[in-house]
Amino acid sequence: MDKFRLHYSRQIAGVMWKTVSEACNLACDYCYYSRCKGRPGKINRIRDDLLEKFIREYLEIKIGYAPFYWQGGEPLLAGLEFFQQVVDLQKRYSGPGTYVVNAIQTNGTLIDAQWAEFFKTHNFLVGVSLDGPKEIHDERRLTGSGKGSYQMVMRGVEYLKKAGVNFNILTVIHEKNVDKGKEIMRFFLEENFTHVQFIPCMDFTSQNPGRPTKYAISPEQYGKFLCEIFDIWYNNGNPKISIRFFDNMLAAYVNQIPEMCQLQKTCPKLLVLEPDGKAYPCDFYMNEDYLLGNMYETSLIEILESPKWKDFLSLKPALSKDCQTCEFIHLCNGGCPRNRVGSGNAAEKEYFCKSYKQIFRYSQEKMTKLAMRVMGEAQKV
Ligand code: SF4
Ligand code: SF4
């Protein structure tokens, strides 16, 4: 094995492209990134030469799993021919031993039969943002003119179902749905959704990571929400629907590394790229202080060597005193640095610490039983 390639392959876990920068056709008021208020204007997508340069350099060093995460704004605004170009370039530059994976996060409103067919053909994993049934979803996920987007999203979901695309649902938990866990889960089960994830709503912007965050819900509210949906997930010891947070907890129980960054010991080395080539270490940290370099002006390897990346990676392991002695440190690892009260730079405690302790305690016995069963079954194989 080429040592140089192996070294740099380990320096990058994956890439997240902010495909069209902040452009989006929806105006969800809690969005931490897009500021265009549902009026995207001229689409500023990644330039062809930059796209090719990056894909070539990334696939030259990446061994094994080579994930591409396409986010926005609304990434589908880049157009189908853009993504066709992406898969063509990936095919051209991926060598033996590299397994390219594409995942895209969309608001779902632009998905039609053609998009669904494309996702199916090229095995894209599609994340659709949906906050629950119509009356809940339409509270916050609005078009630029203030109309609810539920019907448009569900039309997109139907196309995905019909084409047999792998998709999951991402739900933001805020003041209007935090006490509706059962209702949301009932709706998801009725819709036969198989994979869902929840993220608590925060009022901050990626462009200003140093500004203290305002949170829409309290740790107690979020903790109660997690306990409520845990029972539905657990389903008397036979989980039927994947809820990302609980799947990750179970992974930690069976001594695997959770895939959610918040629960890992350090932040993963996931490169975030803007269409103008600017590179950052996380989509919550997209300002000059964390600018790692520019893919137009420099090589990927130089970006991976940036001392700023090391600075960023030192944030998460800088644990508060409470975390250092916490009985749940093996499950939580101190959470996300951006959620640590204050600037996120100090070794303070996660805002949602109480929520985590609440769910960790509540689920302990059942998770232990489940983990023992999983491990027992693994031994039989
Ligand atoms: S539960 Fe709270 S104290 Fe424990 S590791 Fe997580 S953030 Fe730290
Ligand atoms: S700062 Fe938070 S969101 Fe960003 S990689 Fe680290 S844990 Fe994940």
Residue pLDDT tens, the chain, 381 long: 588 888 888 889 999 999 887 778 887 777 655 566 666 677 788 889 999 999 999 999 999 999 999 997 899 999 999 999 999 999 999 988 899 999 999 999 999 999 999 999 999 999 999 999 999 999 888 887 888 899 999 999 999 999 999 999 999 999 989 999 999 999 999 999 999 999 998 766 555 555 556 677 999 999 999 999 999 999 999 999 999 999 999 999 999 999 999 999 999 999 999 999 999 999 889 889 999 999 999 999 999 999 999 999 999 999 999 999 999 999 999 999 988 866 555 568 899 999 999 999 999 999 999 999 988 877 776
| C-alpha to C-alpha distance for 60 and 54, rounded to whole angstroms | 10
Distance 262 CA to ligand 1 centre (A): 11
Cβ–ligand 1 contact at 322 (below 6 Å): yes
With a CB cutoff of 8 Å and minimum separation 6, the contacts of 221 are 178, 179
| C-alpha to C-alpha distance for 30 and 17, rounded to whole angstroms | 21
| C-alpha to C-alpha distance for 348 and 357, rounded to whole angstroms | 16
Residue of 168, 126, 153 whose CA lies nearest to 28:
153
Mutate to test the pocket of ligand 1, among 356, 358, 361, 363 (most ligand atoms within 8 A of CB): 356
Identify the pLDDT of residue 213.
Answer: 61
The whole-model pTM stands at 0.90
- Of the listed ligands, the closest to the CA of 271 is 2
- Of the listed ligands, the closest to the CA of 356 is 1
| C-alpha to C-alpha distance for 107 and 143, rounded to whole angstroms | 11
| C-alpha to C-alpha distance for 347 and 325, rounded to whole angstroms | 14
| C-alpha to C-alpha distance for 118 and 88, rounded to whole angstroms | 13
| C-alpha to C-alpha distance for 81 and 99, rounded to whole angstroms | 22
| C-alpha to C-alpha distance for 341 and 54, rounded to whole angstroms | 36
Distance 211 CA to ligand 1 centre (A): 22
Distance 208 CA to ligand 1 centre (A): 25
